[in-house]
Chain A
Amino acid sequence: MSPAGARPLGDPVLRCEDLHRSLGQGEGRVHVLRGVSFAARRGEVYAMVGPSGCGKSTLLYLLGLLDVPDRGEIWIDGQRMSRDDDAARTAARCRHLGFVFQFHFLLLEFTALENVMLPMRKLGRWGPSEMQDRAHALLASVGLASKTHRLGNQLSGGEQQRVAIARALANEPSILLADEPTGNLDVRNSAMVFELLTGLARKNGQAIVVVTHNPELAARCDHTLPMRDGLFLT
């Protein structure tokens, strides 16, 4: 584990302040996040740990602009996003954010290569052949160079998760959010996926926030953020 101070610190690429979020309806409504504040810098890996149900996923969806906080603010690259409309948040997701969900979430009718190309097609920064080359390179970097043309449902769970990582990195996002990316993988696979994720992000200088239950993996991150009942314990 490398100390945070040893790295060059820029402005945080992702920042949130006093986030509140309640979920559910009426009697069943739960105050899940109770004023979370947090900042993440490029090239750093943050591990979010805590018991099931403490609000880790809820926070991750808010940071990923997939959900709107009841109260509090989120900044991406210095720009306040928490109050923006759906179109602006969608555009920001495309440009700045990469997601890896707990369950692989590939589009199963598409090949691995096409899955990786989907975000690039939406972004429109690269031409068709460039997108192909990039997708091939990304799949090679997650060890799937030989399976680029397999359909999603012809890949194992670990392979699907690796495709999902390649896809999350496709648009060169400044922030990568991963919700228990190794949660449904065996020990060997989860170590491998975790190494890939952190290695690639460090190399590309991305901020990574990863939710994990595995203390061993969490220990290998730059920062650990323990969470209890909708608040960080620090």
Chain B
Amino acid sequence: MSTNLRIALRFLTARRKAMVMSLACITLGVGLFVVTQATTTGFERFFIKTIVGTNGAIRIEDRIQETLRTMEAERGSDASGFVVEVKEGRKYIQGIQDPALLIAAVQRFANVSGTSEVLYGSVEMRSSFKNEAARVYGIHLDDHLQVSDLGRQIVRGDLADFRLTPAGTLVGIKLAERLQLEVGDSFQLQAGGEVRRYRVSAIFETGVGDIDKDRLFLHLGEARSLLRRPTGASFIQVNVVDRDRATQDAAHMEAVLGHSASSWQERERTWLDVFRALRLSTSITVSVFTLIAGIAMYNTLALVVMEKTKDIAILRSMGYTRRDVTRIFLWQAAMVLAAGAVLGCGLGAGVTYGVSLMRIRIRGIFTADHFIVAWSVWHYLAAVAISVVMVMAASLLPARRAARLEPGDIIRGTAQ
């Protein structure tokens, strides 16, 4: 053990109560930071999992056609004015005319892990109980299972039944509840003049209220004849291996394929921003504890320096340097900090676990029945890093002041 550390250890005991106060603040600061990060990140990740599992990582829709005006602008102006004018000069042609061709092109992207052709349209849904407006989504089941969590979202009934039954449907849970439909019940769908009879094969729950209340899945062929759309698709839902790269991939696809492509990050920007703001504001709030820990440490060390001026003079007279004195005081802070960090991480992990057992009912943007927490080593590292910066910065001042003390002044008795 270094001599400075040894001396620091003994000095620590001189102001035990004050040091324990600092320790408690550091522990609380680190612990609460971890807990808030764990819960906000937990809910955020769950939200992302829900939206990606429902509407997919990337959605490719309408065709984009550059208009004549744009082309002129492109030729006539320099590069800086060009982007805006492209936007103005864009024309969207609804839907996808040749889905097979587009899918073949999309699958050449390295990050793409699955594609599903979807045709949707508005219908009226009629049960013996009442009528509701709904949206049908025509899919190839196996393709769609590759780009969504539909398989895991089934709450009643059986996917196999849907696969084997041409008139089978998958109905959103809220929609089923409104129409008082159960698995096995039949109902009618009306689109235009067409009325057809279908059966509930299974009921799904995505957790997103807006989806669960008006969506039902049909086999693509059935959807085509019901909606009288023998060719084309409304959109292609794409799954990717690395979902964090979805935005770049979407931009790339848009440029290459001439169709609008939107990533989950773009589609859900509002909610994602809400989560980010929430995470930031809670961490700022909780960092106040760490700030208090820094102030407490400053006060404690200033007290110890005052109490130990004679000892400092003695050490200096024996040949201990100014740097030794600084280190003796920084070591004290570092030891309390280390203990606080360890205790704080323990506290954080314990409370996070406790919170994860708490029941809370959340409906709307996703469905959860208990607190959702994320376990990430980064939360702990960030919490410790913040406390290290705050506490060590606060300790530097008294430690420096101790180092500046002149041994002659102290022994003569004139040092304040």
Contact = CB atoms under 8 A, between A and B. Distances in A.
| Co-assembled chains A and B | yes
Interface string B1-33: 001000100110110000000000000000000
Interface stretch (B65-73, B84-92, B98-106, B312-320): B312-320
A105 B310 contact: yes
B412 A61 contact: yes
A58 B315 CA distance: 19
B311 interface: yes
Interface-centre pick from A90, A91, A121 (highest chain B CB count, 10 A): A90
A122 B320 contact: yes
A194 interface: no
Nearest to B414: A23
A183 B214 CA distance: 97
B327 to A, nearest CB: 12
A107 B406 CA distance: 18
A120 B10 CA distance: 18
A50 interface: no
Nearest to A92: B319
B319 A93 contact: yes
Interface-centre pick from B13, B319, B407 (highest chain A CB count, 10 A): B319
Contacts of B412: 23, 57-58, 61, 67
Contacts of B315: 107, 118
Given A61-B411, A61-B412, A109 B11 contact: yes
B344 to A, nearest CB: 28
Contacts of A61: 408, 411-412
Given A64-B317, A119-B319, A107 B408 contact: no
Contacts of A109: 10-11, 13-14
Contacts of A86: 322
A66 B412 CA distance: 10
Interface string B398-416: 0000000011100110000
B397 to A, nearest CB: 20
The interface size bin for chain B is 20 to 34
B94 to A, nearest CB: 80
A155 interface: no
Interface in B21-53: none
A118 B318 CA distance: 8
A90 B10 contact: no
B313 to A, nearest CB: 8
Given A91-B319, A99-B317, A105-B314, A66 B10 contact: no
Interface in A56-74: 57-58, 61, 64, 66-67
A42 to B, nearest CB: 20
B321 interface: yes
Nearest to B316: A90
Nearest to B321: A90
A147 interface: no
Nearest to A170: B318
A90 B13 CA distance: 27
Contacts of B322: 86, 90
Contact of B319 (A58, A67, A106, A123): A123
Interface string B301-329: 00000000011011111111110100000
Interface in A23-75: 23, 57-58, 61, 64, 66-67
Question: Top 3 closest A-B pairs, CB basis?
Answer: A94-B319, A67-B408, A109-B10
25 contacts: A57-B412, A58-B412, A61-B408, A64-B317, A66-B406, A66-B407, A66-B408, A67-B408, A90-B320, A90-B321, A93-B316, A94-B318, A94-B319, A94-B320, A99-B318, A105-B310, A105-B313, A107-B10, A107-B314, A109-B10, A109-B13, A110-B10, A118-B318, A119-B318, A167-B318
Given A105-B310, A107-B315, A118-B3, 9 more contacts: A66-B407, A90-B316, A90-B321, A94-B318, A105-B314, A118-B318, A119-B319, A122-B319, A171-B319
